[in-house]
Amino acid sequence: MSMLRDIGESIGAAVLDGIGRAASQLQERRPLAVDLLESDDAYLAVFDAPGAEAADVQVRYEEDAVRVRIDRFREFFEGYEMRLPGRGMSLDGRATLPEGALVDPEGATATLTDHGTLRVELPKVEDEEGRAVEIATDEENGTEVETTDVDDGDGAGGGAEPDGTDEE
């Protein structure tokens, strides 16, 4: 009878191991859940980061997006045997900022909370309103390069109206 019990336990352990590995792989393929919030001064990306330690987390700003990678390590407990290895150990996430968002990646901060969330704050930077922009013209026509102020939409930017007349 103990031989049958051993076979049953062995099959059960193999099934649990297979289920756990499949769950782990699925979790690793699925991106981290993230919320993207915006205030007047910054963007805030809030990622789910359960079981992560600060040393496990990598945060990067690339191509208008916050990228997060978490490489967790499984703890082993004395006197316990792993029956279901179901947690993914390598997790990735991305929060894409709105088109045209201007941020200061050097001023970004990341905070890992005790309850498993990672908060990445990216301060906004002001677009330089009214800056001079060079307008290149065809050099073959013998025309010169001019500079003009960019109109920021409030009518104070100066310059010509689209019909070529002066706004005054």
pLDDT in tens, 77-92: 788 876 666 566 788 8
CATH topology of domain 2-123: Immunoglobulin-like (2.60.40)
Of 111, 104, 113, 131, give the one whose Cα is nearest residue 41.
104
Per DSSP, the three-state class of 87 is: coil
The residues spanned by each domain of the chain are 2-123, 128-159
Q: Residue 113: which of 160, 154, 52 has the closest Cα? A: 52
- pLDDT, tens digit (0-9, with 9 covering 90-100), for 11-55: 766 666 666 556 555 555 667 899 999 999 999 999 998 888 899
